[in-house]
Amino acid sequence: ERRPFELRALLEQAADESRLHARQLEKAQLHVSVSVEPEELSAEGDPERMHQVLANLLENAVRHSPSDGEVTLLARPDGDRRGVEIVVADEGPGIPAEEAPRVFERFYRADAARAASDGGSGLGLSIARWIVELHEGRIRVEPGEPHGCRMVVSLPGAGR
């Protein structure tokens, strides 16, 4: 069901779940932070499906980050201020530039050596892209600085 929803509550819930996931992976020192600017930022869409997107992105970020690393979840207006951007950034090994265009393909897993041991199915990012596109949005991967990666979701803002 498409409707306006506040991003702060959605991001906090997803972050809480990712902290639990980190503890299950014996990464209790992993820090997951949330930032929403402005505080009352809203998007338009199905909040349950967007939760699924965030859960998939955060699961990958937690899995690939070092035990004492940081995962950052950020929501902000996009450049033209008519939509919103949600960024999930991690401190993992990153995604090689030549593999970045393929990470949203079904069953594709970047870096074959890492993929064999990480336990993922290769479907999470494909599902995330499908849901984001149903919301008339876009998803992309960017290199992190100085390492890791950033998954950037662009969505229509509420009331556009």
Q: Which long-range contacts (CB under 8 A, 24 or more apart) does 76-83 make?
A: 76/36, 76/37, 76/41, 77/38, 77/41, 77/157, 78/154, 78/157, 81/157, 82/156, 82/157, 82/160, 83/43, 83/137, 83/154, 83/155, 83/156, 83/157, 83/160
The residue range of the domain holding 55 is: 3-156
pTM of this prediction exceeds 0.85: yes
Tally the domains of the chain.
1
Q: Give me the CATH number covering residue 34.
A: 3.30.565.10
Render each residue's pLDDT in the chain as its tens digit; 160 residues: 788 999 999 999 999 999 998 988 888 899 999 999 999 999 999 999 999 999 999 999 999 899 999 999 999 998 766 899 999 999 988 888 888 777 878 866 665 434 544 556 667 889 999 999 999 999 999 887 778 899 999 998 776 5
